[in-house]
Amino acid sequence: MVTRFAPSPTGPLHLGHAYSALTIQTLGADGRVHLRIEDVDRTRSRAHHAAQIEDDLHWIGFRWDGAIRVQSEHRAEHEAALASLSARGLTYPCSCSRREIGDAGARIGAMGLVYPGTCRGRSMEDARPGDAIRLDIGRALAVAGDLPGFTEWGPLHSGKHAVEPAYLTRDIGDPVLIRRESGDIAYDLACPHDDAALGVNHVIRGADLWPNTPLHVLIQTLMDWPVPDYFHHELVTDQTGRRLAKVDRSKAIARYRDEGMSPKDLRAMLPPLPAIPWAP
């Protein structure tokens, strides 16, 4: 088993991250566990958050194998994956702002606004500086052919899942692969790329990313990357049942630590870690 914890250094770690890291550590105990810093969003990522994340992980007792994979150091590989999709006519440049997308009557889908396709059909040769690059999901589905399903081990959705083309076209739409203005590589391209590059065969992450998984399977299929098994764990909520947000500073792990809490006390605040589903 090869798995990974892949935090984004856009803020301090909170209890939800601690739960994720410890779940990964428990389920991956007999295999390899990588730490990947997902810093491709250059606008929001900060080196000091990455350093703090390492520190916090050490403190809660999370250990990883091998060197830390810093995602931004692999830009050339991400661009090569994008070029492969573009060479097959599956991408197009998009200059629409969020507001324009909203004004065009975009629906809210599983991952946010579903792009109404205003720029679809534009040629990559017409890309202007600052344009986003999107995947034409309809064409991508046509090229991919029969999609494999994936296995989910997590208790929330456990079982075999087919990837439904209708879900991708209706609830996801044409996803961004290169972000508008910043030119950053988008999560939905960098993540499946790096999972394949690291040989990850079990992705363990929060249920908030469940909607993205069919899209990742589509990209894996297009790129001939193996489809890992998935485990989406529950999200840690505060007393009001709201999802903990990174912006909720009062919940930063470092703050509990500064207040004198031990790693054991912190663990006691978390829901029970999931049991290993494949253990006899």
Residue 152 touches ligand GLU, criterion: CB under 6 A: no
According to CB under 6 A, which one of 34, 78, 202, 205 is a site residue for ligand GLU? Answer: 205
Tokens 């088993």: give the residue.
1
Judged by beta carbon, residue 6 or residue 218, the one nearer ligand GLU is: 6
Rounded-to-integer distance, Cα 194 and Cα 241, Å? 33
Size of the site for ligand GLU (CB under 6 A): 7
Q: Based on CB atoms, which residue is closest to ligand GLU, 89 or 199?
A: 199
Confirm or reject binding of residue 6 to ligand GLU (CB under 6 A). yes
> Which of 194, 221, 259 is CA-nearest to residue 36?
194
Among 24, 191, 196, 219, binds ligand GLU (CB under 6 A): 191
> Which of these segments, 3-11, 24-32, 55-63, 221-229, binds ligand GLU (CB under 6 A)?
3-11
Beta bridge partners of 243: 237
Measured from the CB atom, is 138 or 211 closer to ligand GLU? 211
Q: How far apart are CA 239 and CA 46, in angstroms?
A: 30
Place of tokens 């709201």: 242
Of 110 and 209, the one with the shorter C-beta distance to ligand GLU is: 209
Q: Which is nearer to ligand GLU, 41 or 131 (CB)?
A: 41
To which residue do tokens 């309809």 refer? 138
What is the nearest approach in angstroms of ligand GLU to the Cβ of residue 158? 18
Contacts of 166 (CB under 8 A, 6+ apart): none
d(CA 90, CA 76) in angstroms, rounded, equals: 19
> Residue of minimal CB distance from ligand GLU?
205
* Distance between CA atoms of residues 108 and 112, nearest Å: 5
Residue 38, interface with ligand GLU (CB under 6 A)?
yes
Contact 217, 146 (CB under 8 A): no
Q: Which of 3, 8, 23, 221 binds ligand GLU (CB under 6 A)?
A: 8
H or E element that contains 205: strand 202-206
- Is residue 198 within the footprint of ligand GLU (CB under 6 A)? no
- From the list 34, 71, 37, 85, the residue with the least C-alpha distance to 194 is 71
Q: From CA 252, how far away is CA 269, in angstroms rounded?
A: 13
71 binds ligand GLU per the rule CB under 6 A: no
Q: Which is nearer to ligand GLU, 103 or 208 (CB)?
A: 208
DSSP 3-state assignment of 74? helix
| CB of 7 or CB of 154, closer to ligand GLU | 7
- Which positions lie near ligand GLU, rule CB under 6 A? 6-8, 38, 191, 205, 209
